[in-house]
Amino acid sequence: MDMDAVRREKIAARKALPREQVEELSGRIAKRLEQLPEYKVACTVMIYRAVRGEVLAELLRGKRFVYPLCTAPGEMIALLPESAGAWRRGAFGIFEPVRELSEEISPEKIDLVICPCTAFDRDCRRLGMGGGYYDRFLPKCTGAKFVAAAYEFQRAEALRTESWDVPMDAVVTEERVYRRKSL
CATH of the domain at 151: 3.40.50.10420
What is the rounded CA–CA span in Å between residue 110 and residue 107?
5
Per the confidence metrics, is the pTM higher than 0.75?
Answer: yes
CA distances to 99, 105, 112, 138, 152 from 178, rounded to whole Å, are 34, 29, 16, 19, 10
pLDDT single digits (tens) 97-142: 999 999 999 999 999 999 999 999 999 999 998 889 999 999 999 9
Please tell me the total count of domains within the chain. Answer: 1
What is the residue-averaged pLDDT of the chain? 95
What is the rounded CA–CA span in Å between residue 42 and residue 167?
19
Contact call for residues 14 and 6 (beta carbons, < 8 A): no
Range of the domain at 114: 3-179
